[in-house]
Structure 1
Amino acid sequence: MAPKIAVPEKGAKKVKQPTAPSTASTTAVSSAEAPVAKADEIIDDSSNGPIYLVAKPLTIAEARKEERYYNFALFMVTILSFWTRFYMLYHPDQVVFDEVHFGKFASYYLQRTYFFDVHPPFGKLLFALVGWLVGYDGSFLFENIGDGYVQNKVPYLAYRALPALLGSLTVPVVFLTMKDSGYSLAACLVSAGLVLFDNGHITQTRLILLDATLIFSMTCALYSYVKFMRYRNSPFGRKWWKWLLLTGLSLACTISTKYVGVFAFVSIGLAVIIDLWNLLDVDRGLSLKKYAQHFIARAFALIVMPFMIYLLFFQIHFWVLSKSGPGDDFMSPEFQETLGDNEMALLSKPINYYDTIDIKHKDTGAYLHSHPDRYPLRYDDGRISSQGQQVTGYPHKDANNNWVILPTVDFPENDRLGHPVNGGDVVQLYHTVTGTYLLTHDVASPYYPTNQEFTTVSPDDARGPRHNDTLFEIRLNNGKKDQFRTKGGFFKLIHVPTKVAMWTHTKPLPEWGYGQQEINGNKNSQQVSNTWLVDEILDLQDDRLNVEKKKVKHIPFIKKWLELQIAMFRHNNALTSSHPYSSLPPEWPFMLRGVSFWTKNESRAQIYLVGNPLGWWFASCCLAVLSGVFVADQLTRRRRYYVLAENVRNRLYNSAGFFLLAWAAHYFPFYIMGRQLFLHHYLPAHLISALAAGALLDFFYGNPGVFPVAYHAPGATPKTAEKKKGEQVESSVQRPPTMYPPSSLISYLVSGVIIGFVCGVYWFFKPFTYGDPGLSVPQVLMRKWMNFDLHFAK
């Protein structure tokens, strides 16, 4: 039914008030601000600018009835969420996909063995807590996909129950976020339904993976901020502080699970900045002192407190992992010496001049090696070599790996023992088998025309005309002048004349180099992969064989944390290798590719990460339409066409605009990332797109007054238009504290159709979600969507 137009009576007195800004701030809107209740009146006064929707309040009985409807819907959504996530949680009883990593990390925590990972510790600590609570000792290390849980007595159901629980709770939080944003019941059901019946969310949140913790924490952050904004007109009250602090806590848990959680900070941070900008307006009546209090409260709750919680999780991480383990090699010698039973503390020995040593590359494990064979005259690309003796990287122990470390000027014959080598010393390296000295010079290496070739020269040349080319500086990675030691004394070998650093990589040399690694001089001497260590000292005298065991050291927490942060970011950025199931951001909104998690040949069963195609396409289309609505509104306003009721428009920008902003913050940054990316990276953005889809549905169908009669002022001058922009018709309607937006019959029909079809598609792809039952070739081909790399399709 068309809305009634209320025309002011002739001669009626008009009271003018300042209106809300024509472009509303992009921040979460509360139900108290939304045009809620039975909307059946519109005020249209052409002399006073844009029109406004006037809402008729609900009675107390009507409000309680609506509350019961919402509660019943929330209850049903929650039950279905638990069923979809916990259904067949026991299957398969084998290691699936990245459970090899996060299950293993939980075992390392339980064994208190130090490991290294590119993700922060919170999500992994939760898995370790589950293992500890059920009394597991962490003896199973999740080495391979397909390894059995039952025969290894692993409490995998307890582990999987944690993400399943968090995934189940995510759906009702989505529902509550929509409800407390002031949306109709139909809109709440659509948003929750798109997540409830999404195969991708279900698959990712019922296995031993971090995404359930990440997505639940992010959703709680959005919900808490929406709740906080409901109380923005009662600042510094108990509930205002409660929801502000809960927003900060949720943000802390988000970024402490995965670093992509920073996108949640960006989403809420931008909304907070806009909110603070609006509060700065003098018309708000805030003194600068009061404004400073608002600023400090938000800075503490959303920056300082989350950072302290983030540090706390790392403190727990260091406290639990007190023993030496597989993560030692990623850390500095100083860090390693803080771990019990570390090789540095047990076996590290000081290195003296004239010791015979073998030198090992930290990243590849190859030893510095040389043999009598020569470089070819010409390489495959036509470049000419020096034809000098080959210097290569060799992965096994061998006599050709042995080098004597010499001073640049010999000590007297009777005083050569006991002189320590220190960081910063300039030395020569003598190859024991061929009797030559290590050298690098301005000749291109076999594979890198920009890097220098390494070779060796005779003793006569080393002592004579080529002496300077054989000089190398021992530059310890900690930058200190400490004594040079075996095992953990990480160093760079810097050529004195040219300042290049000795480096190697894994690409094997051609047949002439026996498939060994190339050694060359890297002009980027600061590159971390230039790092080497001395593995052992050969032919030690008896008095140096037994070294007193070093005590476990202590270094400040902040120093350990900073070192680990740098290592995590460096290795995270280094994850650039290709993967058969990786995908790119343009493919995600339309779910063009999935990820194979697990297969079983005997039953033809498989778990394949795939979202709900209908749900993803629908949500993506809603994002496009919503963006179009904003563009159309801005264009029409430029021509002074006021198509939307002003309070409806404000809510559109404040709430749907906030969701659109959050989606963009969780999606577009992936375009500038160089690391491996997979479909599951889009799941947080997909959840937010579900919120935006519900908001768009409510915009079109939740209120009969969304498209009131347009007001156009073609002859208005800029001055008169600006005057009208600041005026509105006074409304004497008082809104009660509890109100609900209406759900029209058409909105229920539309939402029912959407949820019904989404549920049907979920059921169709269910065999890929739960890994049961196995499908025949025709059944697999029926489910081959776009570029799905499905198993058993032929």
Structure 2
Amino acid sequence: MSAPSPQNSVRQRGGKENKKRGTTPQPSDSSLMNGNASEKVESIKQGAKKAVTNEWEYKVALAVITVLAFLTRFWGISHPNQVVFDEVHFGKFASYYLQRTYFFDVHPPFGKLLFAFAGWLVGYDGAFLFENIGDSYITNKVPYVAYRSMPALMGSLTVCTTYWIMWESGYSLPACIVAASLVLFDNAHIGQTRLILLDATLVLFMATSILCYIRFYKLRHDPFSRKWWKWLLLTGISMSCVISTKYVGAFTFFSIGVPVMIDLWELLDVDRKRGALSLPEFGKHLAARVIGLIVVPFLMYLFWFQVHFAILNRSGPGDDFMSPEFQETLADNIMTQQAVGIDYFDSIAMRHKETKVYLHSHPDRYPLRYDDGRISSQGQQVTGYPHNDTNNLWQIVPSVAMEGYDHPVKNGDVVRFRHLVTDTWLLTHDVASPYYPTNQEFTAVPTEEANGDRFNDTCFEIQIAGGKPDQQFKTMSSHFKLIHFPTRVAMWTHTTPLPDWAYKQAEINGNKNLQQSSNIWYVEEIPGLAEDSPRLQKEEKKVKNMPFMKKYLELQRAMFYHNNALTSSHPYASFPIQWPFLLRGVSFWTENDTRQQIYFLGNPVGWWFASSILAVFAGILGADQLSLRRGVDALDQRTRSRLYDSTGFFFLLWAAHYIPFFIMGRQLFLHHYLPAHLASALVAGAIVEFIFNIEPSDISNLAITDGKTGSRQQQQKRGRPTRERIAGQSLLATWAAAGVIVAVLVWGFWFFAPLTYGKPGLSVEQVLARKWLNYDLHFAK
């Protein structure tokens, strides 16, 4: 962030007016330093001694905070000895890695690989699959403490990194302690980092990205040095770890990308104070940042997917999400083993790849009018049905006459489908579908119509995804699009069920967007095939290879699609507007016998304080800009620079990790706010210092006098104790404010600790005492 050009301050203007009135101007720090040489040497020695003392104070505070971070994260980590909340997902994924079994998840692999690494370190074989919340780790002999220790370690380091960010940004010790304490004593950060979940990894590397960028920015006057390159590359590596854990890591790229672009824009200025850069020199700066912050992170991001594919080389539950070509790269793949060639006049069951519904029909008809007043054809309903049923069977018939049987169906063939139970023929025509007026209705018509004037409307072309010309059409392995031959629409379905008149089954319609990935179907089986059919005789197939980038791009498409499809309701989902005010949490685990529960909830005191400070910061900026418009400059250059550049950067960090959630359509939970909460803690620490602490530079500009005139040396003797007294009072006020804030944070953490650690069990009165807002706690009655 870039600070505005400093104006003349109020204190500077006051000095000019005093001069006009003939009064004696008061000494500044610079004038006081113009004494004899011995005074200068003594002042330098005192300054160096004070700097060393301050360094040790910061280090001692960091050591204390580190110990407390490890204690709060690791205490009682073995409780409960059961599967808790989303451990059913990420523990299961670690087991799949250890078994080398292919699975599918909407998140990138880095965080899950760390859990698998923890299991591998302790020699676990991944036999337990974390099927249900409440399953016993002890009974199933799972090294769950080792798994949980990984995020607990990261959560502890996150607290240290938060402190270090403030320290490196030049804030006072009380400000560093306040910012770190907001994370240290936060129940949400503690609760989320004691379980087998990804957020500890996400938040830690988000924090290290900020720290490394600050270290890099501080070396801006020493470009291309070894340290400059080190911190630039570490920034990129950290950001890569963020986005390699969850895709919301893109918010961290934006947070750092904005100040980087501002910095490059200033480097391009021909009138910059440190001398203009030539275009070749600017090109070097630009290339270095592109390499360090884009190229290196992207290559690391790809590397984790390469590891992912290298480990998961066996068929597993993730096969169904991938193409047949991808599945052929996995050993023991059921699809390739069970694939059967399809001949004309076979009876087949077709299934949609993404929704898993069967193409289905029954005698019921579409209503005459829909709810919006549109009129249907009143034809026989063609729907999607999730269960195996005889009404799912269709006979595949050639569109041209063929003699005899045993003619294989091939890619590109134009075919027809006869519904066996109702003896009708699949058809689509230029009539709007029930839910999509732009899409065509699918129906089924009697034989006399199908073989008469409506013959062409019953013709469909089979297009096998990635298939070669004349490639044989097979069950399971041939994922295909069914394209209506005359109107060129693709058979398609979606997740919104039809009304009661269709028994809430899925709508089947004709999609004009032929390229849409959700147009894909496959044939699950040929029920009537004789057991001794030569088509059932299988020859052993070798595992095939597929280029890495092709596998990566296919997986990326599937991940983005299914991530966006997570729109179903959840009892503990919440909206972003609720998060800063901590209106409700999430129930993670309960045990009825002991009345113990783990309820994911932040420290309300800390969250409300941090959220209010965000509003205070916005108010300060607004007041400062309004004052400048009226010619009043109440801030000195250093204070304004820190307020806009450093605190403004933290505020940008918060906004970038919070505001984008408002435009997301997927399920959202309170834990999505944790990165933004860390950023709000940084803003809070900075604003506490801004409000209570007076900088030495501010003191030097104060008109300090006892009302008497005297020699320069007498003014120095009278002025120094006054400045020291003001500085001491300011520091004391900052420490007092920090002490009160930390004390209240500790109380809030301790009060809600039973809900964070899952013990001890609380009585009804104790539960109700913690039900401050809309917290849907268990055992409240």
Normalising by structure 2, we get a TM-score of: 0.88
What is the one-letter code of the residue matched to 2:753? K
2:450 paired with 1:462: yes
2:228 paired with 1:237: no
Cα distance in 1, alignment partners of residues 363 and 607 from structure 2 = 63
2:351 alignment partner in structure 1: 360
The Cα shift of 1:525 comes to: 4.5
2:382 alignment partner in structure 1: 391
Matches within 5 A, 1:117-136: 117-136=105-124
1:736 alignment partner in structure 2: none
Cα distance in 2, alignment partners of residues 281 and 142 from structure 1 = 58
The Cα shift of 1:92 comes to: 0.7
Q: Retained in 1: the 8 A contact 2:237–2:297?
A: yes
Q: Which of 534, 552, 559 matches 1:543? A: 534
Q: Which of 286, 302, 323 matches 2:314? A: 323
The 3 A distance-change label for structure 1 pair 631 and 498 is: same
Unaligned runs of 5+ in 1: 1-19, 25-40, 712-739
Q: Secondary structure at the match of 1:350?
A: coil
The Cα shift of 1:408 comes to: 1.3
Q: Which of 176, 182, 186 matches 2:164? A: 176
2:495 paired with 1:493: no
Deviations 1:110-166 (A, max 9, x none): 111111111110000000001111111111111111111110111100000000000
Cα distance in 1, alignment partners of residues 168 and 345 from structure 2 = 75
The 3 A distance-change label for structure 1 pair 46 and 280 is: farther
Q: Secondary structure at the match of 2:254?
A: helix
Deviations 1:521-563 (A, max 9, x none): 3455444333211112332573322132332211111111111
The Cα shift of 1:384 comes to: 5.6
The Cα shift of 1:631 comes to: 1.9
The Cα shift of 1:640 comes to: 2.7
2:98 paired with 1:110: yes
The Cα shift of 1:289 comes to: 2.1
Q: Which of 565, 568, 583 matches 2:559? A: 568
Matches within 5 A, 1:15-414: 22-23=4-5, 46=16, 59-282=47-270, 283=272, 284-285=274-275, 286-372=277-363, 374-375=365-366, 385-411=376-402, 413-414=403-404
The Cα shift of 1:679 comes to: 0.8
Cα distance in 2, alignment partners of residues 542 and 761 from structure 1 = 72
What is the one-letter code of the residue matched to 1:770? Y
The 3 A distance-change label for structure 1 pair 516 and 664 is: closer
Cα distance in 2, alignment partners of residues 663 and 77 from structure 1 = 23
1:654 alignment partner in structure 2: 645
Structure ranking higher on relative contact order (CA contacts 8 Å, 6+ apart): 1
2:661 paired with 1:674: no
Cα distance in 1, alignment partners of residues 260 and 155 from structure 2 = 27
Q: Secondary structure at the match of 2:407?
A: coil
2:492 paired with 1:503: yes
The 3 A distance-change label for structure 1 pair 195 and 431 is: same
Q: Secondary structure at the match of 2:658?
A: helix
Cα distance in 2, alignment partners of residues 664 and 261 from structure 1 = 14
The Cα shift of 1:508 comes to: 5.9
Q: Retained in 1: the 8 A contact 2:185–2:745?
A: yes
2:417 alignment partner in structure 1: 429
2:713 alignment partner in structure 1: none
Cα distance in 2, alignment partners of residues 429 and 395 from structure 1 = 20
2:723 paired with 1:747: no
What is the one-letter code of the residue matched to 1:598? W
Cα distance in 2, alignment partners of residues 405 and 361 from structure 1 = 17
Q: Retained in 1: the 8 A contact 2:341–2:535?
A: no
2:779 alignment partner in structure 1: 792
Deviations 1:577-609 (A, max 9, x none): 111111111111111111111111111111111
Q: Which of 593, 597, 602 matches 1:611? A: 602
Cα distance in 2, alignment partners of residues 289 and 385 from structure 1 = 68
Q: Retained in 1: the 8 A contact 2:613–2:684?
A: yes
Normalising by structure 1, we get a TM-score of: 0.86
The Cα shift of 1:83 comes to: 0.5
Unaligned runs of 5+ in 2: 20-26, 34-42, 703-726
Deviations 1:672-696 (A, max 9, x none): 1111111111110110111111111
What is the one-letter code of the residue matched to 2:329? T
| More moved, 96-105 vs 642-651 | 642-651
The 3 A distance-change label for structure 1 pair 277 and 507 is: closer
Q: Retained in 2: the 8 A contact 1:42–1:52?
A: no
2:38 alignment partner in structure 1: none
1:703 alignment partner in structure 2: 694
| More moved, 373-382 vs 697-706 | 373-382
2:760 paired with 1:773: yes
The Cα shift of 1:374 comes to: 4.8
Deviations 1:316-339 (A, max 9, x none): 000011011111111111111111
The 3 A distance-change label for structure 1 pair 638 and 46 is: farther
What is the one-letter code of the residue matched to 1:197? F
Q: Retained in 2: the 8 A contact 1:86–1:206?
A: yes
**Percent identity between the two aligned chains:** 62
The 3 A distance-change label for structure 1 pair 324 and 23 is: farther
Cα distance in 2, alignment partners of residues 678 and 183 from structure 1 = 33
The 3 A distance-change label for structure 1 pair 446 and 603 is: same
2:517 alignment partner in structure 1: 528
Q: Retained in 1: the 8 A contact 2:416–2:459?
A: yes
The Cα shift of 1:449 comes to: 5.6
The alignment's C-alpha RMSD in Å is 2.8
Would you say how many aligned residue pairs link Structure 1 and Structure 2? 726
Deviations 1:323-368 (A, max 9, x none): 1111111111111111111123211123233333221222333322
The Cα shift of 1:382 comes to: 7.2
| More moved, 340-349 vs 152-161 | 340-349
1:620 alignment partner in structure 2: 611
* Structure with greater helix share of residues: 2
1:578 alignment partner in structure 2: 569
What is the one-letter code of the residue matched to 2:324? P
The Cα shift of 1:372 comes to: 4.5
Q: Secondary structure at the match of 2:476?
A: coil
Cα distance in 2, alignment partners of residues 597 and 312 from structure 1 = 33
The 3 A distance-change label for structure 1 pair 23 and 789 is: farther
Q: Which of 434, 449, 460 matches 1:472? A: 460
Cα distance in 2, alignment partners of residues 703 and 470 from structure 1 = 83
What is the one-letter code of the residue matched to 1:349? V
Q: Secondary structure at the match of 2:543?
A: coil
Cα distance in 2, alignment partners of residues 387 and 629 from structure 1 = 66
Cα distance in 2, alignment partners of residues 373 and 294 from structure 1 = 70
Cα distance in 2, alignment partners of residues 405 and 583 from structure 1 = 48
Cα distance in 1, alignment partners of residues 625 and 701 from structure 2 = 15
Q: Secondary structure at the match of 1:90?
A: coil
